[in-house]
Amino acid sequence: MADSTVISVKGLNVYYEDFQAVKDVDMEIKRESVTALIGPSGCGKSTYLRCLNRMNDLIMGASIQGEVLFENRNIYDSNVDATEIRSRIGMVFQKPNPFPKSIYQNIAFGLKVNGFSGDMEEAVEKSLKQAALWDEVKDRLNDSAFTLSGGQQQRLCIARALAVEPEVILMDEPASALDPIATLAIEDLVRELKTDYTIVIVTHNMQQAARVSDETAFFMVGEDRSGYLVEQDDTQKIFTNPTHQRTEEYITGRFS
Amino acid sequence: MNKDKFITGNINPNRRFRKIIGGCVYILFLLSTCVGIIGLGLLIFDVLKEGIPWINWQFLTDFPSRDPKEAGLLSALFGTIWLMFLTALFTVPIGVGAAIYLEEYAPKNLLTRVIEINVSNLAGVPSIVYGLLGMGIFVYRFGSDEMFLDRVLIAGALTLSLLVLPIVILASRESIRAVPDSYRQGAYAMGADKWQVIKGAVLPSAFSGILTGTILAMSRAIGEAAPVIAITALVYITYIPAHPFERFTVLPIQIFNWVARPQDDFRSLAAAGIIVLLVILLTMNAIAVFLRNKYQTRSEE
C-alpha cells in the first residue's frame, strides 16, 4: 500500500440479511484529498460509505465481508473498538442533524465523549472557524442549534465532526437538503478542508463531484440489485475520458 | 341528457331521508358527550357546595378528630406527600431504566415482545390486586418482627410503585422512541459509545416526555384508595410521619373514612377533602400539560 493511501478497501461485500447491497469493492482512498462517490439511486454508495467507519454496525441485520484497512489495520478486526474508529473517521449526514442543544454544546459533546481535557472554549472556537461558521455564530453560541438556517446547521455538523480531530471525514450527500447558495458554501468548505483532512463524499450531483473532488468512484446497480464499483480514477479523467462506457453514459446523463 | 348508461339499475338518492339520519346522528353524539360533561359538572358542583364552607386553615392544619368542627386532614395530607415522594423515588429510576433497556438495548425478539405486551397488560390490572399483592409481600412476608416492614409508608410506596411502574415504563418508552434516530447517529459518528449516546443525545430529548408521564403516574398513585386500604388497614393517625417506617394515612382513605360516618358534618368534611385532593390532582395534571406544551414548541423551532 502506498504511503499516500489512508483507507484501503479489499473485496468488500455488504449484506442486509440475505440481500447483498454492495458487491466486491476494492478501493484506495488517498490522504488529504477528496474522493467522490457517484452513481444512480440504490447503487449502494451510501451503504458503502457507512462501512468505512462502521456506522453499519448500528443497522440490524447488516453484515460485511472483506477488509477495510485504515492505516494498515482492518477496522473490522475483533480487537478494534468501533468508537475509536468513528472518532478518527467522522461523518456528516444527508440531513443536518444537530442535537437539540446550544451551538456551543453541540460541539462540546464530541469533545466530552472523547475525554477532552483542555480549553473547551478555544476548541469550540477553532472548530467553528474551520467550518467557516464562527463569524455567523460567535455572538450567539448559547442559542439553540435549531435557530440556525439549514446550511448553517450543516456547517455546524461539519464543525462538530472536526472538533474530534478525525483524519477522515465521510459525507453522505451533505448538500442535498440545502439551497444552491448553502450548497456552494459547503463545497467551498470541502475544498478548504482537504488540506488537512481526507474527505469521502457521496453525491447525487455530478457537477458537485466535478467541482470538489480529486478522485471519483462510479457505482452501478447490477441485475441482482447489488451495487458494485465500476471504476475509480482522477475526477478529470472520469468526466472527460472514462474507461467504461457505462460511466460515460451516466455522466452524460443518458441514464440516472 | 341522452348519455348512454353503462350501469343498469336505478339510482334513488333519497336526500331528504339521508338528511334526517345525519341530523339524528349528530344529536345522538352531542348528547353522549353531554352526559359525561354534565355528570362531571354536577359532581363537582355538589362537592363544592358541600365542601367549600368547611375549607379553612384549621381544616388543613388539624389532625382528624371525633368532633367534625375540630377535624382536619393534616396527617392525610402529609401521608399523601410522603407516599408520592417515596413512590417517585422507587418508580422513576426503575421505570426509566426498564424503558431504556427495552428501547435501546433489548434485542428485538420474541421474549422482548412478550415482555412488552405484559408490561402493557399490567397497566390494566385493577389496583386492588396490587394492594393485596403488596399486603402479601411487603406487609406479611417482610413484616414480621425481625424484618423491617409493616403497614408503614415504605410498604405503601412499594405497592403503589408496582401499580404505576407499567405506566411510567410505557410513557418513558413512548418518549424515548420519539427521539429522532438522527440524534443517535450523530452522536455515534463522533465516537460516542452506547451509554454516552443515551445519556447525551437520547435522554435530554426524552426528558420532558418522561417527566410528564411520571407526573401523570404519580397523580394516579395518590388518587388510589383501594391498594392503600389493603396496606394501612384504615388506621387512625394523629401525627405527621417522621420517617418512612411509620404508619400513615392518605387523603383518599381519610375521605373514605369520613364518608362512612353517620353524621352529616363528616359528609361535608369528606367533600372538603375531595376538593383538596382534586386541587392537588388538577395542579399536577396542569404541570404535566404545561411541560408537554413547552416541550412541543421547543422541538418545532
Residue B7 domain flag: no
User: Are both B62 and B40 inside the same structural domain?
Assistant: no
Residue A123 domain flag: no
pLDDT of residue A204: 87
Instruction: Tell me chain A's radius of gyration from C-alpha atoms.
Output: 18
Q: CA–CA separation, B152 vs B228, rounded Å?
A: 10
Residue A138 domain flag: no
Are B153 and B244 in contact, with CB atoms under 8 Å apart?
A: yes
CB pairs under 8 A between A and B: 77
pLDDT of residue B292: 78
pLDDT of residue B6: 75
A55 touches chain B (CB under 8 A): yes
Q: Which helix (H) or strand (E) holds A103?
A: helix A103-113
pLDDT of residue B300: 43
Write the residue in A88, A95, A113 that is nearest to B200 by C-beta.
A113
User: Are both B100 and B175 inside the same structural domain?
Assistant: yes
User: Are both B73 and B140 inside the same structural domain?
Assistant: yes
Residue in the structure block whose three cell numbers are 426509566 = B96
Asked whether residue B92 carries a pLDDT value surpassing 90, the answer given is yes
Range of the domain at B153: 57-299
Residue B194 domain flag: yes
Asked whether residue B287 carries a pLDDT value surpassing 50, the answer given is yes
The values of phi and psi at residue A66, to 5°, are 105, -170
Residue B199 domain flag: yes
Cell of A125: 472556537
Q: CA–CA separation, B141 vs B176, rounded Å?
A: 36
Nearest-Cα distance to chain A for B92, in Å, is 23
Cell of A92: 456528516
Nearest-Cα distance to chain A for B171, in Å, is 21
A190 touches chain B (CB under 8 A): no
**Residues of chain B contacting residue A99, judged by C-beta atoms under 8 Å apart:** 183, 186-187, 200-201, 204
Residue A33 domain flag: yes
Q: CA–CA separation, A37 vs A216, rounded Å?
A: 6
pLDDT tens profile A80-96:
999 999 999 999 999 99
Asked whether residue A1 carries a pLDDT value surpassing 60, the answer given is no
Residue B143 domain flag: yes
Answer whether B191 sits within 8 Å of A161, measured CB to CB.
Answer: no
pLDDT of residue A256: 58
pLDDT of residue A42: 85
Answer whether A100 sits within 8 Å of B182, measured CB to CB.
Answer: no
User: Are both B217 and B179 inside the same structural domain?
Assistant: yes
Residue in the structure block whose three cell numbers are 392525610 = B76
Asked whether residue A150 carries a pLDDT value surpassing 80, the answer given is yes
Strand spans (E) along chain A = 5-16, 19-30, 34-38, 62-70, 73-74, 89-92, 168-172, 198-202, 215-221, 227-234
Nearest-Cα distance to chain A for B283, in Å, is 29
**Reported confidence tier of residue B235, pLDDT bands at 50, 70, 90:** confident
Q: Would you call A10 helix, strand, or coil by DSSP?
A: strand
Asked whether residue B102 carries a pLDDT value surpassing 90, the answer given is yes
Are B267 and B259 in contact, with CB atoms under 8 Å apart?
A: yes
pLDDT tens profile A166-178:
999 999 999 988 8
Asked whether residue B297 carries a pLDDT value surpassing 70, the answer given is no
Q: Which helix (H) or strand (E) holds B269?
A: helix B264-299
User: Are both B156 and B20 inside the same structural domain?
Assistant: no
**Reported confidence tier of residue A105, pLDDT bands at 50, 70, 90:** very high
Count of domains forming chain B: 2
Stretch B234-254: mean pLDDT: 84
User: Are both B252 and B116 inside the same structural domain?
Assistant: yes
Residue A111 domain flag: no
A54 touches chain B (CB under 8 A): no
pLDDT of residue B145: 59
Stretch A93-108: mean pLDDT: 93
Write the residue in A84, A99, A101 that is nearest to B191 by C-beta.
A84
User: Are both B37 and B89 inside the same structural domain?
Assistant: no
**Reported confidence tier of residue B301, pLDDT bands at 50, 70, 90:** very low
Output B69 or A181, whichever has higher pLDDT: A181
Give Cα B28 distance to the centre of its chain.
31
B256 contact partners, CB below 8 Å, separation of at least 6: B225, B229, B234
A173 contact partners, CB below 8 Å, separation of at least 6: A46, A94, A202, A203, A204
Q: CA–CA separation, B140 vs B136, rounded Å?
A: 5
Cell of B281: 390532582
Nearest CA in chain A to B297: A146
Range of the domain at A242: 5-97+169-251
The average confidence (pLDDT) of chain B is 87
User: Are both B129 and B267 inside the same structural domain?
Assistant: yes
Q: How many CA atoms lie within 13 A of B92 on its CB side?
A: 15
User: Are both B165 and B258 inside the same structural domain?
Assistant: yes
pLDDT of residue B5: 67
A174 touches chain B (CB under 8 A): no
B296 touches chain A (CB under 8 A): no
The average confidence (pLDDT) of chain A is 91
Parallel/antiparallel/unpaired status of strands A227-234 and A215-221: antiparallel
Asked whether residue B33 carries a pLDDT value surpassing 90, the answer given is yes
| CATH number, residue B71 | 1.10.3720.10
Burial of A118 (0-12, 13-18, 19+ CB in 10 A): exposed
pLDDT of residue B91: 95
| 3-class secondary structure per residue, A150-186 | HHHHHHHHHHHHHHCCCCEEEEECCCCCCCHHHHHHH
Residue A140 domain flag: no
User: Are both B149 and B294 inside the same structural domain?
Assistant: yes
Parallel/antiparallel/unpaired status of strands A62-70 and A215-221: unpaired
| CATH number, residue A58 | 3.40.50.300
B205 contact partners, CB below 8 Å, separation of at least 6: A100, B178, B179, B180, B183, B299
Cell of A101: 442543544
B183 touches chain A (CB under 8 A): yes
The values of phi and psi at residue A98, to 5°, are -65, 155
In chain A, positions 80-139, which contact chain B (CB-CB < 8 Å)?
Answer: 83-84, 86-88, 90-93, 95, 97-101, 109-110, 112-114
DSSP state of B116: H
Answer whether A53 sits within 8 Å of B204, measured CB to CB.
Answer: no
Stretch B88-101: mean pLDDT: 95
Nearest residue to A64 via CA among A133, A115, A134, A12: A12
Residue B229 domain flag: yes
Answer whether B187 sits within 8 Å of A60, measured CB to CB.
Answer: no
- Say if the ipTM goes beyond 0.95: no
Output B142 or B40, whichever has higher pLDDT: B40
User: Are both B197 and B105 inside the same structural domain?
Assistant: yes
Are A110 and B191 in contact, with CB atoms under 8 Å apart?
A: yes
B193 touches chain A (CB under 8 A): yes
pLDDT tens profile B175-230:
999 999 999 999 999 999 999 999 999 998 998 889 989 998 999 998 888 898 88
Nearest residue to A172 via CA among A22, A65, A49: A49
Residue B2 domain flag: no
**Reported confidence tier of residue A3, pLDDT bands at 50, 70, 90:** low
Burial of A199 (0-12, 13-18, 19+ CB in 10 A): buried
Tell whether the torsion through CA atoms of B285, B288, B294 and B299 is positive or negative: negative
A149 touches chain B (CB under 8 A): no
Asked whether residue B25 carries a pLDDT value surpassing 90, the answer given is yes
User: Are both B49 and B64 inside the same structural domain?
Assistant: no
Cell of B91: 418508580
Residue A213 domain flag: yes
pLDDT of residue B51: 87
Count of domains forming chain A: 1
